[in-house]
Amino acid sequence: MQISKKDLRIKRIWTFKIWNKSAKDGRYVHNAVFINDKKFIAVYHSATEHRFEYWEVTRRGNSWHPVEIGATKGEFMRNNSPVQGIAYDKKRKQIYLAFNDYLFKTNRAGKVLTSGHFHTGREFEGICVNDSYLYAELAQRPELLRQKIK
């Protein structure tokens, strides 16, 4: 959905499909992060194949074109927790994924670079990267955390 910055009204609504090799093998994207007005990174989790896929979706004119840029084999969480946040660091070309109170950093190809645990017992509501900082909003008692990215 595209919203006008001027009056906050809906300008356009798009629907599109993402699939891997065959239209029968569709991808239902739950989480995405916009890089700019014409591009976003989306994450898809296949529980049956135990794999996370990263898709870069680019708008050309009035059409969106998905390309798989990477994948991570295995599961980040053993209890099938859903992704609760995705962020993209344009400067370093890294993807951050949040689950419960765990945070994982991958490169665009899907290789896990590092992970961390906040030990708060609270879940993420969302994450984002701005300049050299990662921001995380926690649930239950709203709290915003900021961490310098090195």
Residue-level pLDDT at 14:
86
Q: How far is residue 43's CA from residue 76's CA, in Å, rounded to a whole number?
A: 13
pLDDT at 101 over 80: yes
Residue-level pLDDT at 25:
83
Summarize pLDDT for 25-76 with one digit per residue, the tens. 888 888 999 999 899 999 999 988 999 999 999 999 988 999 999 999 999 9
Q: How far is residue 69's CA from residue 146's CA, in Å, rounded to a whole number?
A: 28
Architecture per CATH, 29-148: 7 Propeller (2.130)
- Rg over alpha carbons for the chain, rounded to the nearest Å, is 16
Residue-level pLDDT at 28:
87
Residue 5, burial from CB neighbour count under 10 angstroms (0-12, 13-18, 19+): exposed
pLDDT-derived band at 120 (thresholds 50, 70, 90) equals: confident
